[in-house]
Chain A
């Protein structure tokens, strides 16, 4: 049986090796996806086939842990097959829940697999009680992954008014737009995060030295220009440096990663059930390091001790080498 210490720690598994690393490092739950457009981390070299998923689930279940399968993109017109197959395959493999975003796919999963636990993906961007009630009432959703746009006080107020579990992001890359409704990447590249499962695909990314500066591009679009002493970040559209009112600025968000390690007790107090670590596209070393740090912090808090300070020292592996509390702190909006 699962024994959740303080808060459920939900960790990314981009590969079978990362799944085992996350479990060994103390993940209560891992989440993964199939090797196709049905999940929002559809990048080369990642994800699972049916057999790898079955083996990963066996590894996790033998240690009393859970495996969630993300089928969290939006099925294309006239092409529902791959998404329905993914839900069916996850159920057949014994997944503990599927993470869905599309209304049509939620409808399918709730009718075809009434005993399969459904989690609402952050791609559904449900951030108010009425929306969350809608997904619970219509499809029997058991948990919502909350968008990364709420202050801790707002998370607490929301949880007080909803009747299902809440999972929040604790570490990793940040989307600053309403997720699942952001077309910036397809506007620039033609590849859709919503239906192709890839934001800013690597084949569109370039870094070139121009006039003594490092220029990053996504497709033809200049997303940033760095001086020699600056770290060049990945050219995600919402982290672009743009000319606005005559100034070069990070209009949407700087290249920073979320780290909520310093507010775990506040999140527990807000009624959060689970903490999510972002990063299925990151290395096994990243998974091992982040999960180890958060496991130690949660175990310390469960014993009534202060979290070890080392958990605040994950800057080096965060996006852009910097961390933020982002929307969790007031004033972000």
Chain B
């Protein structure tokens, strides 16, 4: 907490993911992160009045909801474009628990699983991964189908969340798709080959179960 307090005063751009941090900032500019529950225009208006210069939206929102909020938002809007989707946080560390350790003496055991620890269904089908106190999707979100429409609606930033894959190549694919140098479906096919056997998912963007996949940009 003391480090956050110090950082809030030294000119560093802070991404606040809890209102405690917004409180510490005393009206100074900040980025509102995806774990601030920003589901609607009224919340955006409040955060912008408090100094938010960018609104990072929760991963649960559909492309339609993101577009609605981006059109309303007078400052920058950010959405997740690639990576495992953070689904929940806990005060309890499931990574430590899975290794028979306690959070307060965890030996940083999460470092053994840099891409997360698999938590599968009992029949062996993949479902989730845990990374410390966070639980994430098994599949990687990849929003190639939504880049152009969301950019048009006013989304200014797309976040790539790092996974244990060639992130330079991932970034190049998204850059090329955003610049119109590669068709979304082609970039998506290259990405799918790069990350196999981990599947792509896009359910939240489509307003469906987050773990589902609609066919992505290939269905366009």
Q: Which residues of A contact B (CB under 8 A)?
A: 74-80, 101-105, 107-108, 124, 126-128, 130-131, 133-135, 137, 147, 149-150, 176-178, 180-184, 186-190, 192, 194-195, 219, 221-225, 238, 241-245, 248-249, 251-252, 327, 331-333
Contact = CB atoms under 8 A, between A and B. Distances in A.
Contact of A177 (B43, B59, B88): B88
B39 A219 contact: no
A333 B102 CA distance: 7
Interface residues of B, number: 67
Contacts of A126: 19
B159 interface: no
A180 B37 contact: yes
A104 B45 contact: yes
B218 interface: no
A74 B23 contact: no
B140 interface: no
7 contacts: A130-B19, A133-B23, A134-B20, A135-B19, A181-B89, A184-B87, A224-B122
Contacts of B216: none
A331 B103 CA distance: 9
Given A74-B37, A77-B68, 5 more contacts: A78-B41, A126-B19, A137-B23, A177-B89, A221-B127
Given A177-B89, A181-B88, A333-B103, A242 B41 contact: no
A16 to B, nearest CB: 30
Contacts of B127: 221, 242
A250 B61 CA distance: 28
A194 B65 CA distance: 14
B137 to A, nearest CB: 6
B37 A103 contact: yes
Interface string B97-126: 111001110000000000001111111110
